[in-house]
Amino acid sequence: MDFGMKNRLSRIFRPKTGKTVMLAVDHGYFQGPTSGLKDLKKTVTPLLPHTDCLYITRGMLRTCIDPNTDTPVCLRVSGGPSILGDLSHEDITTSIEEALRLNAAGIGMSIFVGAKNEDRTISNLGRLINDAERYGMPVLAITAVGKEMGRDTRYLGLACRIAAEIGAHMVKTYYCEDFHKVVEACPVPIVIAGGKKLPEMEALQMTENAIKEGASGVDMGRNIFQSDNPVGMIKAVRAIVHKGATVKEAFEIYSKK
């Protein structure tokens, strides 16, 4: 691996623990003004100091994030359809030059394994990685889960492995039963998305389970920014990911206002 690629990855995964707490705030790229992100700047600003890497679109980065921040950024570079259409019609929306101009530490896109346009999204991932490799830019592949797609070990294992085979440098997927089997079959780091908002204790339990079963961190959104104490919640998630805190200890951190 060249210096550029290694250096960017070290800005995403903290070298001390090899893990990351990414904050995902890209939901608007297909959902519009998502609950908790209507005023993205207001929501994200207090969370930034506790975030290892911010996962965001270029439009929100330019308009809502202070360029003086020292929190690295991973850019969502795919999009196209909205929640009103077929989400698997995604294409690449942001070029590699734009990611370099914005000083991104990484870029990410979704693949829709099992959906109508799975082949198109997987080919797009291959093309994106071809471009990204040229500049030492790590690519995060996200295994989207649509209505017709599963969330079990077999499905997520299939999708994560395909992403790694195509050359993704890291993969984002969902936690599932026997998650360790998904991790074991995927040779690149896996981070978990949080999914729909859960009670805080459940979200922290899911985080602990995922880390114990081999996840390299989280790229979590709604379970942090929709919490009644977002700063407490991200600190609690950090304690589990980086310090091996128990769910009980993490919940106490979350509860401190």
Site for ligand 5RP in 69-98 (CB under 6 A): none
The alpha carbon torsion through 128, 168, 125, 36 (nearest 10 deg) reads -90
User: Is the Cβ of residue 22 or residue 247 nearer to ligand 5RP in the bound state?
Assistant: 22
Report the SS3 class of residue 192: strand
Binding residues for ligand 5RP, total number by CB under 6 A: 15
172 catalytic, yes or no? yes
Q: Which residue is nearest to ligand 5RP (CB)?
A: 221
User: Smallest gap, in angstroms, from Cβ of residue 114 to ligand 5RP?
Assistant: 15
**What phi, psi does 209 have (nearest 5°)?**
-60, -45
Exposed, middle or buried, 237 (CB in 10 Å: 0-12/13-18/19+)?
buried
User: Rule CB under 6 A: is residue 11 a binding residue for ligand 5RP?
Assistant: no
Distance of CA 12 to the CA centre of its chain: 11
Residue 244: enclosing H or E segment and its boundaries? none
Q: 19, 41, 147, 172: which one is catalytic?
A: 172
**Candidate ranges 13-21, 65-73, 187-195, 239-247; the one touching ligand 5RP (CB under 6 A):** 187-195
User: Rule CB under 6 A: is residue 142 a binding residue for ligand 5RP?
Assistant: yes
Task: Convert residues 144-173 into a mask of x (bound to ligand 5RP by CB under 6 A) and - (unbound).
Answer: x-----------------------------
User: Rule CB under 6 A: is residue 26 a binding residue for ligand 5RP?
Assistant: yes
Task: Convert residues 30-69 into a mask of x (bound to ligand 5RP by CB under 6 A) and - (unbound).
Answer: -------------------------x--------------
Which tokens is 252 given? Answer: 């106490």
User: How many CA within 13 A on the CB side of residue 138?
Assistant: 25
Helix H segments across the chain? 3-12, 28-31, 40-44, 58-64, 96-101, 118-135, 153-166, 179-184, 200-212, 222-225, 230-243, 247-255
Site for ligand 5RP in 204-223 (CB under 6 A): 219-223
User: Smallest gap, in angstroms, from Cβ of residue 252 to ligand 5RP?
Assistant: 22
**Candidate ranges 24-32, 40-48, 118-126, 234-242; the one touching ligand 5RP (CB under 6 A):** 24-32
Distance CA 58, CA 78 (A): 11
Which chain residues interact with ligand 5RP by CB under 6 A? Answer: 24, 26-27, 55, 110, 142, 144, 193-195, 219-223
- Catalytic residue set: 172
